[in-house]
């Protein structure tokens, strides 16, 4: 969907991960806090298979992964790690389905994108799949098919939901710059050609043809222009990592209809400012770019800076509620 103006996003949502291991508690918190833009929570504290790489590895079609001391490694057949990942995803969907009865509106689901997956999944020789162009293509194709099935399952369970697919790509900048370390740790894998990166992402974005795709990265130097060209309807990022050199590409993105998922609430424990203070930087950016204040609520969704897996349950609940209050402040006082 290129015209995200046709799609009604919520004013605030979460990134994905939550603390603890209780799927029902997480789903209850998320649906209770974000009444108009809930998301499918991820609970990595449960262990391998609930982490972002393992969870997405469990979605792959005709490719399987298992846990080695060094991380997730591709293998020949589904083992207990794959089964565990799929079981936890099913548990999370059960919980979300329970708390979204009769829900109609945007609903976000997350999966790791093809390049972060290629940088973090090992081949049999212990090197990242990123080291092998053929393996990268196979992985992207398997992921595309897995995402089609996953989205269909969510639609079946929550028929009133308008699905937003989030691709998590925290390793994307490192892939583009040749900064992903080899297994030895002494060298790095060569940078992947930007056109190949973009084409692969475009194919994955095309999987969700009837809804918008947001690409998330809480790393510095998010490649906004590349993501826009790949068809991302929105880009999710840690607002504190922006610098003024990002101004031009962000201005172009907003004017081109790309939505910003601005991570303005800290993802780690600490005192929260007042809601107006949390969005002061967004208002300042808007003035600097010379954009209309009236555009703010139409162009920005507020989120935590990154996932909340490392926070306490109490802080996670406060941070999510704070996003909602900050979004209200932004809408009420755009200037």
Kindly report, residue by residue over 147-204, the tens digit of the pLDDT: 999 999 999 999 999 999 999 999 999 999 999 999 988 999 999 999 999 999 999 9
Q: What angle do CA 275, 219, 290 make, to 5 degrees?
A: 55
Chain segment 30-72, per-residue pLDDT in tens: 999 999 999 999 999 999 999 999 999 999 999 999 999 999 9
Strands of the 234-238 sheet, one edge to the other: 105-112, 161-168, 213-217, 234-238, 259-265, 300-304
Chain segment 251-296, per-residue pLDDT in tens: 999 999 999 999 999 988 888 888 888 999 999 999 999 998 888 8
In a 13 Å sphere around the CA of 334, the CA atoms on its Cβ side amount to: 13
SS3 215: strand
Work out the widest C-alpha separation in the chain, in whole angstroms: 57
H or E, element range at 236: strand 234-238
Q: Mean of the per-residue pLDDT values for the chain? A: 94
pLDDT at residue 1 is higher than 50: no
Query: DSSP class of residue 109?
Result: E
Task: Select from 331, 263, 252 the least CA-distant residue to 297.
Answer: 331
Task: Note whether 13 and 1 are within 8 A (CB).
Answer: no
List the helix and strand counts (H, then E) for the chain: 13, 8
Neighbours of 238 (CB within 10 A): 23
């Amino acid at each position: 969907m290129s015209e995200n103006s046709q799609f009604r996003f919520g004013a605030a949502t979460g990134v994905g991960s939550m603390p603890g291991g209780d799927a029902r508690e997480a789903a209850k918190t998320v649906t209770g806090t974000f009444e108009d833009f809930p998301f499918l929570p991820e609970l990595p504290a449960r262990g391998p298979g609930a982490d972002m790489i393992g969870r997405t590895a469990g979605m792959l079609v005709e490719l399987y992964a298992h846990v080695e001391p060094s991380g997730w490694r591709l293998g020949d057949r589904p083992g207990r790690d794959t089964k565990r990942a799929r079981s936890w995803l099913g548990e999370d969907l059960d919980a979300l389905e329970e708390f979204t009865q009769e829900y109609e509106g945007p609903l976000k689901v997350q999966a790791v994108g093809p390049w972060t997956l290629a940088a973090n999944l090992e081949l049999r020789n212990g090197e990242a799949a990123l080291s092998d162009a053929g393996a990268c293509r196979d992985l992207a194709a398997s992921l595309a098919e897995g995402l089609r099935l996953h989205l269909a399952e969510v639609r079946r369970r929550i028929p009133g939901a308008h699905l937003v697919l989030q691709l998590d790509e925290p390793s994307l900048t490192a892939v583009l710059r040749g900064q992903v370390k080899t297994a030895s740790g002494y060298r790095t894998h060569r940078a992947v050609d930007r056109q190949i990166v973009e084409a692969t992402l475009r194919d994955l974005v095309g999987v969700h043809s009837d809804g918008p795709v947001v690409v998330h990265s809480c790393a510095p130097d998010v490649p906004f222009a590349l993501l826009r060209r790949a068809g991302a309807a929105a880009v999710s990022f840690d607002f504190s990592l922006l610098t003024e050199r990002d101004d031009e590409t962000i201005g172009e993105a907003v004017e081109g209809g790309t939505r910003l998922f601005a991570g303005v609430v800290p993802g780690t424990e600490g005192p929260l400012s007042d809601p107006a203070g949390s969005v002061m930087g967004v208002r300042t950016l808007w003035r600097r770019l010379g954009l209309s204040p009236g555009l703010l609520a139409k162009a920005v969704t507020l989120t935590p800076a990154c996932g909340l897996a490392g926070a306490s349950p109490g802080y996670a609940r406060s941070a999510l509620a704070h996003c909602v209050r900050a979004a209200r402040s932004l809408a009420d006082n755009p200037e």
